Amino acid sequence: MFWKLATISASSPVEAILDKENFTLEELLDEEEIIQECKALNSRLINFLRDRAQVEQLLRYISEEPPEDAENKRVFKFPFIACEIFTCEIDVILKTLVDEEELMDLLFSFLEPDRPHSTLLAGYFSKVVVCLMTRKTVPLMNYVQAHQHVFRQLVDLIGITSIMEVLIRLVGSDDHAYPNFINVVQWLAESNLLEMIVDKLSPSSPPEVHANVAETLCTITRIASSTLAVKLSSPSFITKILDYALEDSQSKSSLIYSLSVCISLLDPKRSVVSFPLFHSFRSQNMYEPPIPINPDTIGAMLPKLGDLLVILNVSSDQKVLPTTYGELRPPLGKHRLKIVEFIAVLLKTGNDVAEKELVKSGTIQRVINLFFEYPYNNALHHQVESIILSCLESKTDAITDHLLRECDLIGRFLQADKQRILSAESNLPTVPAAGKRAPRVGNIGHITRIVNKLVHLAHNRGQLLTFLQQNSEWNEWQTTALQERNMVENVHRWACGRPTALQDKMRDSDDDDLHDRDYDVAALANNLSETLRYKIYGNDDNEELLQPKCWIHFDDLGCRNVEILIGMMRMFTLMMILLK
């Protein structure tokens, strides 16, 4: 900061305006330092802004659209400054707002259906309401309870992301704690708010509404024990959500986002904490055991499997999508991929009834067929791999037997491994480009991962071991092609002079975490030792290889984090530079 020579402590321009006999709110809003003065709790400024007339004018800037011939200050600057003044969270200004019902009516008049709702003003409205939720929770909730039409207006505008954020805060599922949290959520659950939100999943709503509704509902489900989440997971709501998903086959977004809500309800990693005081702990690395899914929730989903299976049938779809390797006739599409993801999550619950229904309906066999019909769709391969591994790890032998015998999983894997180039004569939806050599199919890596997992599980399950030993073609392929491939892909055999990650081929890629991976600590220590055996003093007369006085043994540290090891290597490198 540069001080003027004339006066060392120059007065604020805001003070100069306040010193005038007659000044307007617009003059203050036009001054650049007004927000800084508010945060500095300038008493003269705050006493002026807390006046009812000034609060009302500030509200009009953020709730009413400016006239068409308005200046840029009125359109952009004044609404922004007005919003920032409220979000400075000055108690006396917020108190003036919440104590006057007419001012609260003016604030929420922005939601009226016969008015324009620009995204700019919607953002300012959202910030002010969220500020009131955190600082003036009780008066705000009392107002909302007395004016329940606000619910309908908020839900009608849920397609605006800023309004969606208000709803997420309102349902209390965004990890912020405020007084009477549990009572508020209980009251919301007894209202019809959840019904109104779910109804927006109707195919008649636009895709942006579907997306924001799904985001709101998924946020509710993350706290499994909350009253709203329990209500949402009831069979009546599950049936309504899936009915909307399947109501109109042309509305792909309704299907995709409705299934997203169902997937979130089946997620075993949801938090079981129901008290807001403990919500902050969720961000820490605390172990949360998987929670069992309500069987009634799963039971309400199973009757719709037949309708979802019809959508997975691509033979009636006439769409064509050109690609770099040929054409897709038809493309798989997000909606079918979402169905496969839903099936994968459903199997992860380990529900016996769900497994039996998936086997009986032929869903698993259809999904495996998609794995080979779309050999370049890695997102599909990932989900199908999860489905296969869930079947192999199931406690029920029936689903494993169905996978190996009726679906002929091993036979199809061996056939795909032999024919790695897509044939133009096949009847698959994936058609290679004419006159060009088709590239290698993209599912061989997933096949290798699956069969390695199969071999690993066979050591502990007699059913798998017996089945594999009886297949002579498999035994020959395993001892030749599979073992050779595993040796080639074993990074520990690569003499690249760098630390190599130990690959755990048995893990699901979803669970791979940088901090959980093992690293070749011995190789790191050896490479570092060789590096430090160079002369660290540039003295030609001294022919002795000088060794550091202090050696750190990496094996003794038991280090599993490569970031720590890299930091240590950098430290030693810096020491070498300083000693030269």
Same domain, 483 and 356: yes
Q: Is 490 left (phi over 0), alpha (psi -120 to 50) or beta?
A: beta
- Token readout for 542 is 């001294």
| Burial of 421: CB neighbours in 10 Å, binned 0-12, 13-18, 19+ | exposed
Token pair for residue 336? 């079918």
Q: Do 17 and 88 belong to one domain?
A: yes
Domain membership flag for residue 193: no
Range of the domain at 462: 345-489
Is 60 a domain residue? yes
Question: Do residues 132 and 100 share a domain?
Answer: yes
Neighbouring-strand partners of residue 501:
519
The predicted model scores a pTM of 0.79
153 is a domain residue = no
The domain boundary residue, chosen from 455, 489, 523: 489
| pLDDT tens sequence for the chain (580 residues) | 444 444 444 578 899 898 888 889 999 999 989 999 999 999 999 999 999 999 999 999 999 999 988 899 999 999 999 999 999 999 999 999 999 999 999 999 999 998 889 999 999 999 999 999 889 988 998 899 899 899 999 999 999 999 999 999 888 654 444 555 667 778 888 889 999 999 999 999 999 999 999 999 999 998 877 889 999 999 999 999 999 999 987 889 999 999 999 999 998 676 554 434 334 434 444 445 566 788 999 999 999 999 999 999 988 888 999 988 888 999 999 999 999 999 999 999 999 999 999 999 999 999 999 999 999 999 999 999 999 999 999 988 899 999 999 999 999 999 999 888 887 776 789 888 887 887 888 899 999 999 999 999 998 888 888 899 898 999 999 988 998 888 888 777 776 655 555 444 444 444 444 444 444 444 545 555 554 444 433 444 443 333 333 334 443 344 445 556 667 777 777 777 766 5
Residue 255 lies in a domain: no
Packing angle between helix 305-312 and helix 352-361, nearest 10 degrees? 40
Based on the domain organization, do 458 and 563 belong to the same domain? no
Last residue of a domain, one of 440, 469, 489: 489
Quick one: 414 and 540 in the same domain?
no
Domain count, the chain: 3
The answer to whether 344 and 383 have CB atoms below 8 angstroms apart is yes
473 and 370 together in one domain = yes
DSSP one-letter code for 205: S
* 265 occurs within a structural domain: no
